Amino acid sequence: MPQELGDWRRTDMCGRLNARDTGREVVLMGWVSRVRDLGQLVFVELRDITGEIQVVFDADDHPGLWSEAKGWRGEYVVGVRGVVADRAPEAVNPDSPTGSVEVHPAEIRLLNPAETTPFYIRDDIGVEEGLRLRYRYLDLRRGEMRQNLVLRDRANRAVRDYLSDAGFLEVETPYLTRSTPEGARDYLVPTRGRRGEFYALPQSPQLFKQLLMISGLDRYYQLVRCFRDEDLRADRQPEFTQIDIEMSFVGEEEVQALTEGLLAHLFGELWGVEVPTPFPRMAYAEAMERYGTDKPDLRYGLELCDVSEAVADSAFRVFSSAIAAGGVVKGIVVPGGASFSRRELDDWDGRVKEWGGAGLLWFAWDDSPRIGVDAVRGPVVKRLDDGELRNLARLSGAEEGDLLLVMAGPAAEINPILGMLRVALARALQLIGDAERLEFLWIVDPPLFEWDADTKRLHSIHHPFTSPRSEDIDLLEADPLSVRARGYDIVLNGIELGGGSIRIHRPEMQERALEALGFDEEAGREQFGFLLDAFRYGAPPHGGIALGMDRLLMLLARRGTIRDVIPFPKSASGRDLMMGAPSPVAREQLEELGILRKGDGEEE
């Protein structure tokens, strides 16, 4: 029968006992991890948040305790009072932090029994993620999941310590705010007091942190929850945490230096490694040209190569027509790829088509590219002359045994597809190498705007409050798509950790940016009048950055999804499988809020 805790109080944590505790009486409490019944001896692994300790029940010493422990099962909640003892030399477990000691009990209490769990509480389970999320409170008992949350706590403290020491003030900003027309879709919150009007959950504290700079607080940060109603993936959730930072009287260099110091501090504290700073910088345009993405992974090569010069006047019209129309012929050299089978090449061609490309052409050099046409194989080799084939090899850098995969078309279309191909090839060929290698990179000078073909208007790449580069300001009205932003994204091993910018701080410049986005004066005042007014009362030059805490922790914990470092995440489809959310609500609640479901009328 279960017993009450009574006057028992825990004196020690299971995972912290060691040889220095030998001979000391302890009171431990936790969950039964495993019971091994060897007849006269029963071994119980007792677990709490710090780890496990072995408790040994001997029938000769305490037959009553031994008999009771034989009835214990996994996940029973128990208390043990006993003495720490050294294990016999042959029983020492060098792989366990507590493997040199055990506890000999003098008294035990069953605090709560447990039913059989739907999956084993251990690290090496092979159950599907949906079941783990349905019973998340059990999943979090597993050692690797528990350690992820311990790591999260350590990271939070490291961030706060670093920024506090750097003179930053932690300020909380509102969760109920106003919906804005930029960025992802908002989560809307109705209010009973003002029917037909809605709060929005913040996609970020962007406007509030800028207002804090205008308030004179100078250096702000926050570990803040943000909400975006967008499609999900392994590194995205509808609610997430970001390290939000804003600083006054700074330029790009100061924000970047602070961020580098923070990231170096985090990896130093949690991985025990020294991260060299400063991080390299690369312009957005260069990243797209060389890697086909604004978040390149620098742990491997496979850079995109432009071979347009070799085939600009080719009789093969697929190449020459694309170049004449202002496009390019670009590709990737795969070292040793000449050994690819025709089936493998067809598979890569199929992937490119799935990504929206017209397809791949390939050239495989079996002999030295200097030999000429007889050295190369490919579906269009006979359509090119000997000089064109030699120039293809020269411009691409292909050597004997290499494969050149090529696409033709507008650079804006084929660069991203080749970028995806580059990543897929690196994974398939296992080119990434050392998983512990850290390749940080700043991507700078991105476009300020992009054209949305669906809405037929410009959108901000980051947000409407990013400052344009001073030398591009005159292009705001004449050629807005050529305007570069004073923006910067931080990338680690091909994953974007976050981004930021130097902000607009003058009302006239903010009005020009809003006009470029299609806001007339009235609409601009309606949406952002409070900010424009605030700028008129002395706004300092300011800038900041937001880092995705969940993505950072995913990398720090060496996991493949952010769901493993979030205590209670949503599934890949955005559902809370444990709580059953989102869920319908009673009609009475909707009526109280002045909301009618589609099809509802005034009468039944």
- Does residue 244 share a domain with residue 350? no
How crowded is residue 280: how many other Cβ atoms within 10 Å of its Cβ?
A: 9
Where among 88, 112, 136 does a domain terminate?
112
Cis peptide before 464 (omega within 30 of 0): no
556 within some domain: no
| Domain-located, residue 193 | no
User: Which tokens hold the place of 72?
Assistant: 């214990």
Enclosing domain of residue 521: 202-283+439-547
With respect to residue 465, please indicate whether it lies within any of the assigned structural domains: yes
Locate 367 and state its tokens: 């002999």
Other beta carbons less than 10 A from residue 270's beta carbon: 16
Asked whether the beta carbons of 405 and 334 are under 8 A apart, the reply is yes
In this structure, are residues 380 and 361 in contact, taking their beta carbons and an 8 Å threshold? yes
pLDDT digits (tens, 9 = 90+) for 100-159: 999 999 999 999 999 999 999 999 888 999 999 999 999 999 999 999 999 999 999 999
In a domain? residue 512: yes
CB atoms within 10 A of CB 467: 22
Ramachandran quadrant class, 60 (left: phi over 0; alpha: psi -120 to 50; beta: rest):
alpha
**Residue pLDDT, tens place only, 187-243:** 999 988 888 889 999 999 999 999 999 999 999 999 999 999 887 776 789 999 999
**246 dihedral zone (left: phi>0; alpha: psi -120 to 50; beta):** beta
Structural Rg of the chain based on CA atoms: 31
Positive or negative CA dihedral for 380, 386, 391, 397? positive
Which value, to the nearest 10 degrees, does the dihedral of the CA atoms of residues 547, 551, 552, 557 take? 170
Among residues 290, 291, 241, the alpha carbon closest in space to that of 494 is found at 291
- Say if 136 falls within a structural domain: no
Same domain, 276 and 316: no
CA distance 410 to 474: 27
Give the per-residue pLDDT at 368.
75
Taken as a whole, the chain contains a residue count of 604
Do 478 and 368 fall into the same domain? no
Coil, helix or strand at residue 442: strand
The CATH number given to whatever domain includes residue 89 is: 2.40.50.140
Q: Note the pLDDT of residue 572.
A: 86
Do 538 and 510 lie in one domain? The reply is: yes
* Residue 513 counted as domain residue: yes
Kindly give, in sequence order, each residue whose CB lies less than 8 Å from that of residue 573, ignoring residues fewer than 6 positions away. Answer: 232
pLDDT at residue 603 greater than cutoff 50: no
Question: Is 477 domain-assigned?
Answer: yes
Same-domain pairing of 313 and 409: yes
pLDDT more than 90, % of the chain: 85
**Omega of the bond prior to 278 within 30 degrees of 0, cis?**
yes
Q: Has residue 599 got a pLDDT over 70?
A: no
Over residues 431-442, the pLDDT tens digits come to 987 878 999 999
Rounded (10°) angle between helices 143-165 and 252-271 = 140
270 and 354, same domain (yes or no): no
The most distant pair of C-alpha atoms in the chain lies apart, rounded to whole Å, by: 94
Report yes or no on whether pTM surpasses 0.75. Answer: yes
Q: Are residues 306 and 414 in the same domain?
A: yes
Among 182-186, 250-254, 484-488, the minimum mean pLDDT is found in: 182-186
| Residue 2 predicted with pLDDT over 70 | yes
In the chain, the number of structural domains is: 3
467-512 tens-digit pLDDT = 999 999 999 999 999 999 999 999 999 999 999 999 999 999 999 9
